A and B are shown apart, each in its own frame.
Chain A
Amino acid sequence: MEVDILELSDRSAKFVLSKVSTSFANGIRRAMIADVPTLAIEYVNLYDNTSVLYDEQLALRLSLIPIVTDAETYVPQAECDVCGGEGCPACEVSLTLSAEGPGTVYSRDLISSDPKIQPADPTIPIVELKKGQKLVLEAVAHMGYGRDSVKWQAGVACGYKNVPVINIQNCDACGHCAAECPKGIIRFEESGAKVSEEDILKCSLCRLCEQVCDIHAIKVDFDENAFVFTMESDGSYTARDLAINAANVIKGKAEEILSILDQF
């Protein structure tokens, strides 16, 4: 397995993963979306709500706020050994909010009981309060899995495509393929059509160039064991941590299978 990082920022990453099978690449993608546990608000105790939103709408908006997650300190509630899934400091964080209008309530107004656990974005508007409107609530955040609800989904827009391979032979430099290419990556030199090394990754495998080439000089294929991955994190982890956690989840599952097989 080889990883070649193309872009890496706090919230998003793009990399080439090569010498792996399609099922492994898909496993990583699925693990990033569904199997990396994150914190999200699950219960809300509303003490006062005279805002324009119903309690349920307010709870939904709160639940969708990504929370910076410390996977070492917290465990998913269903797997919590301390309380057996009932809720305890090892699997729950409480956040309180109290605000009075006029003004907009933002996610930064949530006061967490654990200073390390904060909303990932401070400026998510929760509700706009008019004069005299009040909001007092306590929200309880759990660790959970993306497969149970989107609010626990750490990976956003995770996807991959195979690395394209473009072969050009006996080109007569007619220029049709370059005119047809929607990505505009085919260039012309004296010897004929060329696609530069870094532009190849932009190819969307649409094969329009193949169709317009009368002499079948251009062939678009893909490498079955190399993938261009794009991924984004919602902010609960950095993109780097999310990919590492996803790989660890797969590793954990593989080890689980081995230990089950050992019993037979």
Chain B
Amino acid sequence: MIPVRCFSCGKVISNYWDEYKRRVGDGEDAAAVLDDLGITRYCCRRMILSHVELVDVLSPYQ
């Protein structure tokens, strides 16, 4: 799961994840999507850019 807040500044970033994933999946440029979502600082941008979703990998081993 995407961390709720940015590790560095504390801004809530997890609520942008669904939209980011959908729009980048549709072929939009990641940087343009982040700008559009209002994620301006590079600490917050790396939270989303570098996130890897692991729920689907882990769920079979419950």
Contact = CB atoms under 8 A, between A and B. Distances in A.
Instruction: State whether these chains interact.
Output: yes
Interface of A: 50, 52-53, 61, 64-66, 107, 120-121, 123-128, 130, 133, 150, 153, 156-157, 232, 234-235
Contact of A50 (B15, B58, B62): B62
B11 interface: yes
B1 interface: yes
Interface residues of B, number: 17
A157 B41 contact: yes
Say whether chain A's binding surface is mostly helix, strand, loop, or mixed: loop
Nearest to A64: B4
Interface string B7-25: 0011110110110000000
Interface of B: 1-2, 4-5, 9-12, 14-15, 17-18, 41, 55, 58-59, 62
A21 B5 CA distance: 33
Nearest to B16: A123
B21 to A, nearest CB: 11
Given A52-B58, A123-B15, 16 more contacts: A64-B5, A65-B12, A107-B15, A120-B12, A124-B14, A125-B1, A128-B55, A133-B62, A150-B5, A156-B10, A156-B11, A157-B10, A234-B5, A234-B11, A234-B12, A235-B12
Contacts of A150: 5, 10
A16 to B, nearest CB: 20
Contact of B55 (A52, A124, A153): A52
Contacts of B58: 52
Contacts of B41: 157
Contact of B11 (A61, A127, A157): A157
Q: Which 5 pairs, one residue from A and one from B, show the smallest C-beta to C-beta distance? A: A64-B4, A123-B15, A121-B15, A157-B9, A156-B10
27 contacts: A50-B62, A52-B55, A52-B58, A52-B59, A52-B62, A53-B1, A61-B4, A64-B12, A120-B12, A121-B12, A121-B15, A124-B15, A125-B1, A125-B2, A125-B14, A125-B15, A125-B17, A128-B1, A128-B55, A130-B59, A133-B62, A150-B10, A153-B10, A156-B10, A234-B5, A234-B11, A234-B12
A255 to B, nearest CB: 29
